[in-house]
């Protein structure tokens, strides 16, 4: 676990330094968009197809999807109850809801789970995200962001959902798996080669996206509860639910670690698109990502003794 966290931290830090130093005169925002497009549209679908084509699909996959949905909805529900009670303005409310509900389940979750638990755990990260978290983000998440940010959601949310390349890859992988279509050696090698680039590029682009803004002290009443929810309360909720469902062993460790991921970087794009507080969201991403270097190993150690 510690080595996996260290490797991820190094690549994220490299992205942060690249954004700051701007070597070769490259623009960090443009570079991040290019890397994200490459990963999201080409490399990640290849990895998703490979992993789900050969992953065991059964009750465990359904449990992962159910727990993932509960993770997102639980984070949203707890955040909604707290911040509505605090009288948080709509624009800030939409921001903290996104940050509390959705973690960096693939961009950070995939390398951390693979490094801590082995290659089999890649399928858990992918199922957690694509079977529940991403569909909820592109429907409920967009509706919340548009309503609270004051900008209309795009028409045809279903169309937005089906335009996501990794979801098509997930459907293809599950279909080929259930149909018993053999994964040939050449295809496996080709998809593995493409998938190898996903993790380092995702982590590097995460570093490129991290940015800081002055005036944090005035927003601590918004930032601190989200940190507590995202890194402590939501994974604790998932731990209880997993135990209730009879999910044990390394699978329980995997889903709790996924639930303990810092806030997703993609939320920055949604904040910009729907008029939410991008500066507040960026601060939450920076702090939850930094603190996850300590909370994720703590959860890993705890799950080894409970």
Q: Give a yes or no: residue 26 inside a domain.
A: no
Q: Give a yes or no: residue 24 inside a domain.
A: no
Measured between alpha carbons, how far is 18 from 30 in angstroms, rounded to an integer? 12
pLDDT confidence band for 154 (50 / 70 / 90): low
Asked whether the CA dihedral 111, 116, 119, 123 is positive or negative, the reply is negative
Q: Is 213 helix (H, G, I), strand (E, B) or coil?
A: coil
The answer to whether 110 and 122 are in contact (CB under 8 A) is yes
User: How is residue 50 written in tokens?
Assistant: 């490979």
Percentage helix, strand, coil, to 5, in the chain? 80, 0, 20
Summarised one tens digit per residue, pLDDT across range 6-51 is: 888 888 889 889 988 888 887 888 888 888 888 888 898 999 999 9
Q: Give a yes or no: residue 217 inside a domain.
A: yes
- As a residue count, the chain comes to 306
- Say which residue the tokens 């493409």 belong to: 194
For residue 176, give its domain range: 2-18+31-303
Q: Give a yes or no: residue 83 inside a domain.
A: yes
Q: Give a yes or no: residue 108 inside a domain.
A: yes
Q: Is 240 helix (H, G, I), strand (E, B) or coil?
A: helix
Domain harbouring 295, CATH code: 1.20.1530.20
Packing angle, helices 249-259 and 278-303, rounded to 10: 160
Packing angle, helices 185-196 and 44-54, rounded to 10: 130
Q: Give a yes or no: residue 66 inside a domain.
A: yes
pLDDT confidence band for 159 (50 / 70 / 90): low
Residue 182: phi and psi, rounded to 5, are: -70, 145
Mean pLDDT of 168-190: 92
Look at 212 and 276; give whichever has higher pLDDT.
Answer: 276
Whole-prediction pTM = 0.87
Mean pLDDT of 233-256: 95
Q: Give a yes or no: residue 38 inside a domain.
A: yes
The answer to whether 276 and 149 are in contact (CB under 8 A) is yes
Structural domains counted in the chain: 1
Q: Give a yes or no: residue 25 inside a domain.
A: no
Looking at residue 152, its pLDDT comes to 65
> Of the candidates 122, 5, 141, which has an alpha carbon nearest to the alpha carbon of residue 64?
122
Look at 233 and 39; give whichever has higher pLDDT.
Answer: 233
Mean pLDDT of 258-275: 88
Asked whether the CA dihedral 43, 132, 221, 270 is positive or negative, the reply is positive
The answer to whether 79 and 230 are in contact (CB under 8 A) is no
Q: Is 32 helix (H, G, I), strand (E, B) or coil?
A: helix
């Amino acid at each position: 676990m510690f080595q996996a966290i260290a490797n991820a931290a190094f690549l994220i830090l490299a992205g942060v330094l690249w954004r700051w130093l701007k070597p070769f005169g490259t623009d960090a925002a443009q570079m991040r968009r290019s890397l994200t497009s490459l990963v999201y549209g080409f490399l990640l679908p290849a990895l998703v197809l490979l992993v789900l084509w050969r992953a065991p699909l059964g009750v465990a996959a359904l449990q992962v999807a159910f727990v993932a949905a509960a993770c997102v909805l639980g984070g949203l529900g707890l955040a909604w109850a707290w911040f509505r009670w605090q009288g948080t303005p709509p624009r800030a409310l939409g921001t903290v809801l996104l940050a509390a509900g959705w973690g960096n389940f693939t961009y950070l979750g995939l390398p951390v789970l693979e490094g801590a638990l082995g290659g089999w755990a890649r399928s858990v990260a992918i199922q957690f995200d694509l079977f529940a978290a991403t569909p909820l983000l592109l429907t409920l998440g967009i509706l919340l962001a548009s309503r609270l940010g004051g900008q209309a959601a795009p028409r045809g949310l279903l169309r937005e959902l089906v335009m996501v390349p990794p979801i098509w890859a997930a459907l293809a992988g599950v279909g080929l798996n259930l149909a018993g279509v053999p994964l040939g050696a050449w295809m496996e090698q080709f998809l593995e080669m493409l998938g190898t680039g996903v993790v380092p590029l995702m982590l590097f682009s995460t570093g490129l996206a991290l940015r800081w803004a002055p005036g944090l002290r005035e927003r601590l009443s918004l930032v601190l509860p989200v940190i507590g929810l995202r890194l402590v309360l939501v994974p604790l909720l998932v731990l209880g639910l997993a135990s209730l469902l009879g999910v044990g062993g390394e699978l329980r460790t995997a889903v709790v670690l996924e639930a303990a991921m810092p806030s997703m970087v993609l939320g920055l794009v949604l904040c910009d698109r729907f008029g939410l507080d991008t500066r507040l969201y960026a601060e939450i991403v920076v702090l939850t990502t930094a603190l996850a270097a300590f909370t994720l190993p703590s959860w890993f150690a705890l799950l080894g003794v409970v």
